[in-house]
Amino acid sequence: MIYQHSENRRLRIKQLILLFLPFIVLVAVFLNFQINRLISQVMVTQSNAFSSFIQEIDIDTLDQHDIKEIQSLYTSGTKLALIRPSPRLKIYWQNFEQADELDAIIQSLRVSSETSEYGKSASGYWIANQIKQGSGNYWFVEHYPKALFDDLRVGTASVWLGIIILFLFLLYLAYRIILVYIAKPIRVIDEGLQRVLEDDFTFEYYGTQFKDVDHLGRTVTSLKDKLVESRKDLVSSEQRLSILLDHLNLGVVLISPDHRIELFNPEAQNLLQFDQSTIGRTYETTIQSYVLVDMISRVIEESKGLSDEIEIFLPKQKYIDVNIIPFDDLNQFQKTGQSVLVLLYDISKIIKLETIRSEFVANASHELRTPVTAIKGFAETLQDGALKQPEMAEKFVKIIANESVRLEKLIHDILELSRVEKRSEPLHHEAFDVIQSVEDIIEFLSVKAKVRNIQIHTYYGQPQIIMHSDSGRIKQILINLLDNAITYSGLGKQIEIRVHQDMSHVYFSIKDNGVGIPYEDQKRIFERFYRVDKGRSRNSGGTGLGLSIVKNLVNLLEGSIELVSEPDQGTQFSLTLPLDGK
């Protein structure tokens, strides 16, 4: 900063020198002119007085006495001459030491049409006045040495120099006054503007007694305040836009007129596998989907929007709904080219859901067709005469009853799964004892366990676990898991139920040592209508929807469920639920 001030000071000094240099030259010319003018005035005044004296003398009768009397009127060193240049040169008398000086003067007088002439020679100044006597025209020449006017020149120069110095001093004083009272406030305003240009908005103007400068200062301050407000609005808009883009589940990519990627949001980064180095690179070399690159290129070439559903593999298969919009890019209110906005919406879940729904309809139709077909077939058989055979009729009626129960259970599970997925029924939170609920479930399924000679062992981490959640939904989950363990573990097997809690969650584990689940089936075990052993599942009365209902109920309660199974070793379901469901 000090160096900058020093540079500014030197710059101002140079400017002053450049400003006053022409002025000094003009002053020197003016001084020389004024001195010469003063010398000529003195010479003319004195010469006129002497010429008047000479005119009273008869030139034709001029003698040595008259000449001496005339010379006595002048200072020593003054050269005099009385001549008649024309028609024939006649010098009545002269005391010039060098004839060439007088010759030069005579040449000037011969061409003169004035009655008085003056000039400068190598050794001094001369003046000549015309004297008319009779029919002749005479010239009286006076030549003064330079030394005679040196004192006059010095004195005059001193006076004028003093005046000029005083003028310069007053000019400098005025400059300082202007600098302090006018230029300094303007410099303050200029520095404030520079700070504003550098995004420093701390500039304040406090005013002076000069209205014009004050008006300028207030204008700059007002401009600064408006700029601050505009900057705040811009920052606020940018923040809102950034928040919107960051949390939008729509991928947004902005491509500049020169095909470079200018902006993208996190969703686009996730869909197209972008990173920070993507900014500034061309879309042709960055986007790894040929179909998407081709769509963007077509939009740029045709200047027309385009939308389509495409399939990409980045890094896994995804289905994307793509909308590409071209628009004119404006820079400083001038059209600089056409940019492209790419909007990407991941519809993979929608496609998957549509596939699942389609499969669900097909599976539900198939599952419903089996009991309905059985009921219809045996009913028709009874109508055709089987009623007349009591044993056969009783057998068919039992089959119809069993298939009706199976059909009722299937419809119930389908409706229950639909209600859980839609979350159409609210959760009913209440405080209840988890251990007591587990004991009630074991008691509820004890008959089925005894029939299959299955022993159930319980292990509780605490004597009492109070949970605040929907007890009915939790019982529904545990009944499904325990019923599956009893149904599929095999005769004479063991089932372990473990329950414990920590500060925030309750942990359940239901483990059997049955046949287990093959590895290839474990990923699909929670899908609708999926059965590991389809024939065995139907024979046991299963609908294929139990674990799907369990999975959706666990999600509804904001918990998690995991499966660990080894073929021929057994299966374990681990369930984690929040201690406080609120």
The reported pLDDT for the residue numbered 435 is: 92
Query: 274-310: buried (b, 16+ CB within 10 Å) or exposed (e) per residue?
Result: beeebeeeebeebbebeebeebbeebbeeeeeeeeeb
Query: What's the structural domain count of the chain?
Result: 4
203 in a domain, yes or no? no
> Which phi and psi (to 5°) does residue 440 adopt?
-65, -40
96 in a domain, yes or no? yes
312 in a domain, yes or no? yes
Q: Which domain CATH number covers 322?
A: 1.10.287.130
Question: Which structural domain range is residue 101 located in?
Answer: 46-147
Q: Which of 425, 452, 481 is the last residue of a domain?
A: 425
390 in a domain, yes or no? yes
Residues 329 and 376 reside in one and the same domain? yes
Q: What is the DSSP letter of 206?
A: -
Residue 358 has pLDDT above 70, yes or no: no
Distance CA 292, CA 319 (A): 12
223 in a domain, yes or no? no
Per residue in 7-51, pLDDT (tens digit) is 655 666 666 666 666 766 676 666 666 666 666 666 666 656 556
Mean pLDDT (whole number) for 216-223: 77
Residues 420 and 436 reside in one and the same domain? no
253 in a domain, yes or no? no
Residues 443 and 380 reside in one and the same domain? no
Q: Which of 89, 112, 147 is the last residue of a domain?
A: 147
Residues 324 and 447 reside in one and the same domain? no
6 in a domain, yes or no? yes
Per residue in 481-503, pLDDT (tens digit) is 888 888 888 888 899 999 999 99
Residues 450 and 562 reside in one and the same domain? yes
The reported pLDDT for the residue numbered 288 is: 87
Beta carbons of 335 and 329 less than 8 angstroms apart: yes
Which range among 234-248, 329-343, 505-519 has the greatest average pLDDT? 505-519
H/E run at residue 457? strand 455-460
Residues 565 and 443 reside in one and the same domain? yes
Distance CA 156, CA 39 (A): 10
The reported pLDDT for the residue numbered 527 is: 73
Residues 541 and 454 reside in one and the same domain? yes
Q: Which domain CATH number covers 453?
A: 3.30.565.10
Residues 75 and 8 reside in one and the same domain? no
The reported pLDDT for the residue numbered 245 is: 80
Q: Which domain CATH number covers 101?
A: 3.30.450
The reported pLDDT for the residue numbered 58 is: 65
The reported pLDDT for the residue numbered 413 is: 64
Per residue in 45-99, pLDDT (tens digit) is 665 655 666 666 666 666 666 677 676 667 667 777 777 776 676 666 677 767 6
Residues 305 and 418 reside in one and the same domain? yes
281 in a domain, yes or no? no
Q: Which of 147, 162, 192 is the last residue of a domain?
A: 147
Residues 4 and 139 reside in one and the same domain? no
Tokens of 570: 């057994």
Residues 29 and 50 reside in one and the same domain? no
Residues 334 and 383 reside in one and the same domain? yes
